[in-house]
Structure 1
Amino acid sequence: MERRKHWNKMSVFWIVLLGLLSLCHAAPTTAPTMSPEDQDLAEGYLSQFYADVGMTNSTLRRIRNNSFTQDLQAMQAFFGLEVTGTLDKETVDVMKAPRCGVSDISRYGHFPGRPKWTKRLITYRITRYTPDLAQRQVDTTIAQAFQLYSDVIPLDFKQVTSGTADIMILFQSRYHGDFYPFDGAGGVLAHANSPGQGQGGDTHFDDDESWTLTQRGVNLLLVAAHEFGHALGLDHSRDRRALMYPTYQYVNTNGYRLPDDDRRGVQALYGSRTTVPTTAPKPEPPPNPEPEDPTEPPNPRDEQCSRELVFDAATSIRGDLYFFKNGYYWRKSSSFQGIRLTKVNRKWSRINYVDAAYEVPNENVVTSSCLSTGRQYWGVTGIAKTIMPGYPKSITNLGLPSSVSKVDAAVYVSSTGKTLIFANNKYWSYDERRNQMDSGYPRYITQDFPGIGSKVDAAFENYGYLYFSDGPRQSEYYLPYRRVMRVLLNYGWLNCY
Structure 2
Amino acid sequence: MSSGARILVLVLVGSGSLWGQVAQSHPTRSTPLSQPAQHNQLLKYLTKYGYLPAPSDGNALDYTSLLPSAIQEFQDMARLPKTGELNEDTITMMSQPRCGVQDWTRSRWRRFLHSGSKWRKHSLTWKISSFPDHLSSSQVLVVFKDAFKTWANITNLYFEYRSAGVVDIEIKFLTGDHGDGYRFDGKGGVLAHAFYPPDPFTKTRLSFGDLHLDASETWTLNTNDDGENLYNTVLHEIGHSLGLKHSNAPGSVMWPWSADSAASQHTQAKLSSDDIIAVQSLYGEKTSNRYEKSENSHFLCRMHVDALLTTPNNKIYSFNGATVTELNSTTLEPVFGSQLISEVFPGFESDDSVDAAVSYKGFWPYEASYLFVGHQYYRYSLNTSDNQMTLDIGYPKNISLGWGFNESHFDSVYKYGGGNTPVFVKGLKYWMHTGTSHGPYWNYPKMLSMSPNLFLNSLAGIDAAFLHKNGTNYFLSDEHAYLLHHDDIMDTKNLQQLC
- Rg larger in 1 or in 2? 2
Q: TM class by shorter-chain length?
A: 0.3 to 0.5
Query: What TM-score do you get using the length of structure 2 for normalisation?
Result: 0.47
